[in-house]
A and B are shown apart, each in its own frame.
Chain A
Amino acid sequence: MAGHSATEKILALRSGKKEVFPGDVVVCDVDGIFVHSPWFFLSYWKEIGGVKRCFDPDKLILGLGHHVCLPADNRYANDLLEARKAAEKYGFKHLYDMGTGNGHIIMLEKGHVRSGYVYVGADSHSTIYGALGAFGTPTSYEVAEILLSGKAWFKVPSTVRVTMEAQPMKGVCARDVAQYVLATVGADGALMKSLDFSGSYIHSLSIYQRMIFSLLSVEMGAITGFIEPDEITRKFMDGRVRNPYEIVYNDPDCVFEKEWFVDVSKVEPMIACPPRPALTERVADIEKKDIKVHQAYIGGCTGSSVEDFEMAAEILRGRSIHPDTRLIIVPGTQDILKDMQRKGLIEFFTELGAIISPPYCGPCQLCCYGHLGEEEVMIGTHPRNQPGRAGVNGGIYLASPYTVAASAICGKITDPRRFL
């Protein structure tokens, strides 16, 4: 009999079973729950009535500063106030407030995620926890119940795999490769599956760049985006996680339901066009359409690490932002902001005339600021461009920090290779 995928093994471990198979329904112990808008589960708790506590206040991580860096209206300010009062009442231990930044990155940076355990999030991008070899998946509405029971049910997914080999050409980075993968797998190519990323390329990347793949797994329909841990993963977790981790690998003889192979050296700069992230084209082709850019944004769950800002700076150094374009810089977290300061990146972007924001998830949707006027176009490193988030407007495009920077210089969507 064939072996098991790492996802099957983690789900078996955490549900107390010897082995599980795709299609089985299991109930797992949950090691961490990420919530950015606790007023939802608090309102459901109110409806349930009589809630005395959450199953383990150490397992709930509140990222109040995820969607907003400061409340933009009274409604949000009051929701935040309610959340802080509830944290005090119930003794929630981990509350990351205004200015701390993007909750998903905080989950990893602050050691709330460890290999081999199960994490759920009220946010759809909770597939990101797979970047450390954990099973991370969104559950949203059910968080209210999971916080009471400490357990979550899953239908064990079958596993599909993307194997990436070689190194990219100049001007191409992890985001381009991830967009290429999105185009290859499609918006529902991994629907309800565990998506496994393997090959020499993914293991050559830092954890921050791996996060892009795990996070964007949800845009291919996957319930998690798993990356087998290696030395880089161990180094990242050591000194961050407080409890021992348990590295789980795919069995060598495990069978993947489907497998895609990507030769990374052939990938060109890629761009997601409206209305969905999987609708990906070559930047070189979109450049020909002469699409004017009003707002260029570097930040979000998939483009707010120091490395992302360094890539943008590589293009922007010695050049200037187009007068019709505004460039917004949103560091992912406070740790990233501090690192940017040390490296002179904040000074660099300030001198350039960019708008420097406090850390949060950025204008990926209309929670804080960065609204677009009608017909205005935004290009950003954030993960999403669907209608109903940041409006429809003239269109929202998603690309690498290289491409966003090149587009900010030219005031229109531009292939960054001309600047390298």
Chain B
Amino acid sequence: MNTVIRGKVWTFGDNVNSESIMATGTDFDPAKAAKTSLCHYDKEFPTKVKPGDIIVAGRNFGCSSSRPAARALKFLGVAAILCESSGAIFYRNTWNIGVPILECPGISKMFNKGDEAEVDVSTGFIKNLTTGATVQAEKPIPLLLERWAAGGMIEWVKSRRDQYDTLK
């Protein structure tokens, strides 16, 4: 499986909260939420983000509410999230929704908005193709890589139905 992703970077700061990615009042419908996703922090984002783009963010990205916020980002085609650190629930949700999220101290200083990034999700190796800078992110645990590779939690469960008495 190809685990290398390349894309154009959008940058965000620290403590970007999940409600700003998927706002209350959008019924948590990914398509509706996508219309205002992250606009509180970057007005251009919801209209100008392109499938395959990558988010580079600061500390505690996706903190606060447990809503499945990454579904809005998946709807917009965001291919990966690279951050200094991530909110705990957002981190679990995002991998399970099928979007890779890598924690990498120092990452926010390494990218400017519009740079080209390359990341190998399985190894956590990140390159800034615009500047040539490289960095090693924390390696994700095998369980999450497995779920991501399956296409997210739902597909992962479907691929191992025989493991569940509740599906028999």
| Chain A residues engaging chain B, CB cutoff 8 angstroms | 25, 40, 44, 47-55, 75, 121-124, 126, 137-142, 144-145, 147-149, 153, 155, 187-188, 191-192, 218-219, 221-223, 275-276, 365-367, 384, 386-390, 392
Give every chain B residue within 8 A of A51 (Cβ-Cβ): 166-167
A191 touches B89 (CB 8 A): no
B19 touches A389 (CB 8 A): yes
A388 in complex: contacting residue of B20, B59, B87, B168, CB < 8 Å? B20
Give every chain A residue within 8 A of B20 (Cβ-Cβ): 386-388
Give every chain B residue within 8 A of A218 (Cβ-Cβ): 64, 89
A388 touches B89 (CB 8 A): no
Tell yes or no: B141 within 8 A of A by CB.
yes
Q: How far is the CA of A60 from the CA of B137 in the complex (A)?
A: 37
Q: How distant is B95 from chain A, measured CB to nearest CB, in Å? A: 9
Interface SS, A side: loop
Tell yes or no: B139 within 8 A of A by CB.
no
Tell yes or no: B88 within 8 A of A by CB.
yes
A75 in complex: contacting residue of B27, B85, B87, CB < 8 Å? B27
Q: How far is the CA of A366 from the CA of B149 in the complex (A)?
A: 36
Q: How distant is B136 from chain A, measured CB to nearest CB, in Å? A: 17
Q: How distant is A384 from chain B, measured CB to nearest CB, in Å? A: 7
B168 touches A367 (CB 8 A): no
Stretch with Cβ within 8 A of A (4 or more), from B48-56, B113-121, B126-134, B152-160: B152-160
Give every chain B residue within 8 A of A25 (Cβ-Cβ): 141, 143
Q: How far is the CA of A138 from the CA of B67 in the complex (A)?
A: 10
B60 in complex: contacting residue of A124, A142, A191, CB < 8 Å? A191
Q: How distant is A78 from chain B, measured CB to nearest CB, in Å? A: 11
Known: A122-B66, A142-B92, A188-B85. A387 touches B167 (CB 8 A): no
Give every chain B residue within 8 A of A384 (Cβ-Cβ): 64-65
A-B contacts besides A55-B166, A138-B88, A386-B20, 13 pairs, CB < 8 Å: A44-B154, A48-B154, A51-B166, A140-B67, A140-B68, A140-B93, A141-B153, A149-B166, A155-B141, A188-B14, A191-B59, A191-B60, A387-B19
Give every chain B residue within 8 A of A365 (Cβ-Cβ): 19, 24
B93 touches A388 (CB 8 A): no
Q: How far is the CA of A219 from the CA of B66 in the complex (A)?
A: 12
Known: A140-B67, A140-B93. A188 touches B166 (CB 8 A): no
A389 touches B65 (CB 8 A): yes
B168 touches A52 (CB 8 A): yes
Most B-side CB within 10 Å, residue of A222, A223, A275, A386:
A386
Q: How far is the CA of A123 from the CA of B25 in the complex (A)?
A: 17
B168 touches A124 (CB 8 A): no
Tell yes or no: B28 within 8 A of A by CB.
yes
Known: A47-B154, A139-B89, A141-B68. A389 touches B60 (CB 8 A): no
A48 in complex: contacting residue of B22, B96, B97, B157, CB < 8 Å? B157
Q: How far is the CA of A145 from the CA of B160 in the complex (A)?
A: 12
Give every chain B residue within 8 A of A121 (Cβ-Cβ): 66
A-B contact pairs, 11 of them (CB 8 A): A40-B28, A52-B166, A75-B27, A124-B89, A138-B66, A139-B92, A141-B92, A141-B96, A188-B59, A386-B19, A388-B40
Tell yes or no: B122 within 8 A of A by CB.
no
B153 in complex: contacting residue of A145, A276, A386, A389, CB < 8 Å? A145
B64 touches A390 (CB 8 A): no
Tell yes or no: B81 within 8 A of A by CB.
no
Q: How far is the CA of A54 from the CA of B167 in the complex (A)?
A: 9
